[in-house]
Amino acid sequence: MAGPKGSKYYNIFLKFKVWLENTDQESILGNGKFELLDFIDQFGSLKAAADKMEISYRKAWGMLKDAEEKLGFPLVEKQRGGQHGGNSVLTDDGKILIEAYKELLVEFDEAIYQITKKFFNRVNKK
Amino acid sequence: MAGPKGSKYYNIFLKFKVWLENTDQESILGNGKFELLDFIDQFGSLKAAADKMEISYRKAWGMLKDAEEKLGFPLVEKQRGGQHGGNSVLTDDGKILIEAYKELLVEFDEAIYQITKKFFNRVNKK
DNA sequence: AGTCGATATGTATATCTTTGCATATAGAAA
DNA sequence: TTTCTATATGCAAAGATATACATATCGACT
């Protein structure tokens, strides 16, 4: 969402972010990790998800490990071995989380729309 | 806002952030810089604002410079020299911006309250 | 038993930010 | 004209993050 045409805020956008945090103010799950979970769900493996996101497997694995450690419960059931090397499937907790997050984003988008409009109205009023 | 008592989300918080960004996806003004502006407004100098925030003058100066360069217009009128060394006063633009930002935060807080409640309801439903 | 590919993880390298230190300058007031 | 202190800015040191590289393991299917 940008400021109105012609105003000095025309090329400026109001952005927002939502994430889960623990009591130590550490980020547990944000947009990137939710996206990763979503791709794991869609493609059935951490590797495939990493490829889709164009990040290294090493990085994706680290993201997932970090989130699970901080949450204290697993988000993904990992299987290794087999001719295809293995696979990853979201746990019920993982599924519920990404569903809730998706709906949260929709609601947030709706809420921010009005707020943003008001913001740019205000700063351009003068 | 944390999850409900007894749930596995009890120590987990849903957080959000709002900031202004340019077309290059660079952050222009976020919470820290708004706070800095607010303190400059309250205390009349960049130095005093930096002290209040417990950051170095060097850092505060860099933050302000960065924001002004990216916005393309000044937020603060700086005066140097004089027995007291100088001072800083918000421009009209600067004042309007922090006012708008403050009200934005209030509205955001209200909006997120319901959304957050729903989120934790959802993930704890099962 | 051998193969194959994803999971698993340590370590090193590079990059990006932040912070600190040092130093110059303005200019009103004494 | 000397003093005082905030503004102004470069640069080095330190930290924090990210990225890359290397290497091991597992186990269903041939």
CB B86, CB B79: distance < 8 Å: yes
Q: What pLDDT, in 10s, does the model give residues A98-109?
A: 999 999 999 999
What is the distance between the alpha carbons of residues B4 and B63, in angstroms, rounded to a whole number? 38
What is the distance between the alpha carbons of residues A105 and A109, in angstroms, rounded to a whole number? 6
For the segment 59-78 of chain A, residues whose CB is within 7 A of strand C: 61-62, 65, 78
Positions of strand C less than 7 angstroms from a protein CB: 3-11, 18-22, 25-30
What stretch of H or E contains B39?
helix B31-43
Residue A21 Cα distances to A17, A26, B87, angstroms: 12, 5, 39
The DSSP secondary-structure symbol of B13 reads E
pTM reported for the whole predicted model: 0.90
Question: Which residue in chain A has the smallest CA separation from B70?
Answer: A12
Tell which of A28, A104, A109, A118 to mutate to test the B interface (max B CBs under 10 Å).
A104
Q: What pLDDT, in 10s, does the model give residues A47-96?
A: 999 999 999 999 999 999 999 999 999 999 999 999 999 999 999 999 99
